[in-house]
Structure 1
Amino acid sequence: MAGTSPTRLLRAGQSGRCRQCGNRIDLYQRADQRPIALHPTELTTIHVPEPCRWHLGGGIAYPHSDGSPWCRIPHAVLCPRRTPLCRTSPYLDALRRQLAVRTRRLTDTGTFTPAPPAESCSQTAQRPARPVVQILLCRYLAEHTLEHIRCVAQTRNRHRCPHPVLAPTGHAGTWRLLPTAPRHGQLALPDVLMAVYDLGHLPYSEQLRWRAQRCPQHVTAPGAADLALAGWQPFDPLLHATYVRTRLPHPPARPRRNR
């Protein structure tokens, strides 16, 4: 990894499978540090509409063409389980059908199981599977429960760190009921208070550690590369309304002592 690279994410092995269709995807960071899943192969630029063209530079994905006859395309445009957000071409429609056939084959052989529908907004006070976390006055939707948010740093053995971001002792956030806030002029949910894991009272360095998704051991090792993208997703009160919880979760039960 070059020292001048704008990202600390190693490009080796940063691929996965779409949770909805099972086809292979390549994961990259955008200029705003948000993740994006791209189709693993390059396509001819003339076959891709201009709004769907992406190119890579220094490990960062940029949403436009770089002037070459080849470009990358977001997987969301080709995913057979999603509705494309831009106008497609006959070439892309044929590629979507190929991916749909592959999805059916993976499903029939038991290699791939489609992700279950998102859990409904339950009014029970259980700990949310994907909590909303407030870091540096910005709200993010976590990928896992707080206890299962894993450090993304690379260890000396070149494996991903197994430690959680949540420290077993020391600083921790506070569950609070906060109003939903609109983003970029959008309409928010009216008069709704939602449960937010607020880290705003923690020191600035501690909030940076959470946003970088690093454990307390790797926060002091800035030279360690990242083996995975941070799982934070900018929270949108409309797109993520399913994950809004209107009651605070119960604290974990303490074991009783025998007298």
Structure 2
Amino acid sequence: MRSTPPASRHWDGSPVLAHRARRSLQVTPDGVSRLLRCGQSDRCRECGNRIEWYHRSNRRPVRLHPHELPAARVPVACRWHVSSGVAHPAGDGSSWCRLPHAVVCPARDTPPSPRELAGLRRSLAVRSRRLIDAGLFTPPPASPESPAPRPSLCRPARPIVQLLYVRYLAARPVDEIQCVAQTRRRHRCTSPLLAPDAPGGTWMLVPATATSGQLALPAEVMAVYDLGRVPYAEQLRWRAQRCPQHAASPTAADLAVAEWEPFDPLRHHEHIHARLPAPARHPGSAGRARQGARP
């Protein structure tokens, strides 16, 4: 006859494991990056190939090739490594390294790639052509040589926004900039940054001056959505691209990279508008955006 097992074991003799409380992962509030692993994968807008987004130590995003490469095949100036979710522009001493996608992007008219990376760029070009032929990717249209006539209604598709004393080029109109935080259902938040109960910026006409060493611009003034007069905390919220609700939750993760691009008056000259946008006509929008011109 089989003896009765002790209380610490099941009837078949297997040990009884103590119940462990489930722990939820959280993002460190003071961390450099809040981007989740599932939000890093993306496709290049220019060639359609896979990329991975990472943040640098200065919180600026960078696109890396999704696979590691042998360090011996990559020039020293092109080697990157990832440590604790942060990308660093140097090798870490190992035999493997990461590579910025801009070096091998087949859609960019950049100087010829290093000889060691020419084969990788050719394979990415072939993959882009296959995606285009299969209808899975549509390359962006080439900018026309002659400027198209501007419509009567001025509403910049990619406005120039000034915050924290820096000018950025937004990816969409001001009232359509979307929060990048993750909701409780693990989807991207659909709330806009321009909340009706939060202070907004002011449209202003500022001189379209170039930085030192650049040629003069044809336009004398340009329209800028200035957030310099709102509180400092609000400017940080816009820079992090978060709605007021998720700005108050520092542990909420991001599902996308903030879409701010540092504004260059020569590279982005087609997005310069010499007059203020037309005011919105729908009700309830009077408090969202205020227009003004610098005397």
**8 Å Cα contact 2:178/2:241 also seen in 1:** yes
Q: Which secondary structure does the structure 2 equivalent of 1:201 belong to?
A: coil
Aligned twin of 1:100: 125
Deviation at 1:167, TM superposition (A): 0.6
Provide the C-alpha distance between the structure 2 equivalents of 1:78 and 1:186, rounded to a whole number of angstroms: 28
Do the aligned residues in 2 keep the contact of 1:152 with 1:161 (CA within 8 Å)?
Answer: yes
> Residue 122 of structure 1: CA displacement?
5.6
Match among 167, 178, 181 for residue 153 of structure 1: 181
Contact preservation (8 Å) 1:178, 1:195: yes
Cα drift, residue 98 of structure 1: 0.8
List structure 1 runs of 4+ shifted beyond 6 angstroms: none
Q: When the two structures are aligned, how many residues end up with a matched partner?
A: 254
Partners of 2:78 and 2:267 lie apart in 1 by: 21
Task: Show the counterpart of 2:3.
Answer: none
**1:31 Cα deviation after fit:** 2.0
Partner of 2:89: 63
Partners of 1:121 and 1:247 in 2: CA distance: 16
- Offset at residue 10 of structure 1 (A): 1.5
Q: Specify the SS of the correspondent of 1:171.
A: coil
Using the TM superposition, give the Cα deviation of residue 182 of structure 1 relative to its aligned residue in structure 2, in angstroms.
4.1
Measured in 2, the distance between the counterparts of 1:24 and 1:204 equals 36
Match for residue 27 of structure 1 among 49, 53, 62: 53
Q: In the alignment, which residue of structure 2 is the partner of 1:192?
A: 220
Q: Give the structure 2 partner of residue 130 of structure 1.
A: 158
Q: Compared with structure 1, are the counterparts of its residues 183 and 60 closer, same or farther at alpha carbon in structure 2 (3 Å cutoff)? A: farther
2:172 pairs with 144, 162, 175, which one?
Answer: 144
Q: Which residue of 1 aligns with 2:75?
A: 49
Q: 2:268 is matched with which residue: 230, 235, 240?
A: 240
CA distance in 2, matches of 1:35, 1:178: 28
Structure 2, unaligned stretches of length 5 or more? 1-25, 284-295
C-alpha separation between the residues in 1 aligned to 2:216 and 2:68? 38
1:95 maps to a residue whose letter is L
Counterpart for residue 226 of structure 1: 254
% identical equivalent positions: 56
Q: CA deviation at 1:146?
A: 1.1
Q: Structure 1 residues 122, 26: CA separation in 2 closer, same or farther (over 3 Å shift)? A: farther
Contact (CA 8 Å) 1:14, 1:27: kept in 2 or not? yes
Counterparts of 1:32 and 1:85, CA distance in 2: 27
Note the C-alpha offset of 1:88: 0.8
**Deviations 1:148-172, CA, capped at 9 Å, x for gaps:** 2111111112221111111134411
Match of 2:135 in 1: 110
Is the Cα–Cα contact under 8 Å of residues 15 and 26 in structure 1 kept in the other structure? yes
**For 1:159 and 1:213, how far apart are their aligned partners in 2?**
16
TM-score norm. by structure 2 comes to: 0.79
Unaligned residue ranges in structure 1 (runs of 5+): none
* Most deviating of 197-206 and 115-124: 115-124
Which residue identity does 2:103 align to in structure 1? Answer: V
Tell me the TM-score normalized by structure 1: 0.89
Alpha-carbon displacement from aligned partner over 1:187-225 (angstroms, at most 9, x marks no partner): 553662110000111111111111111101111111111
Bigger-Rg structure (1/2): 2
Distance 1:92 1:101, change over 3 A: same
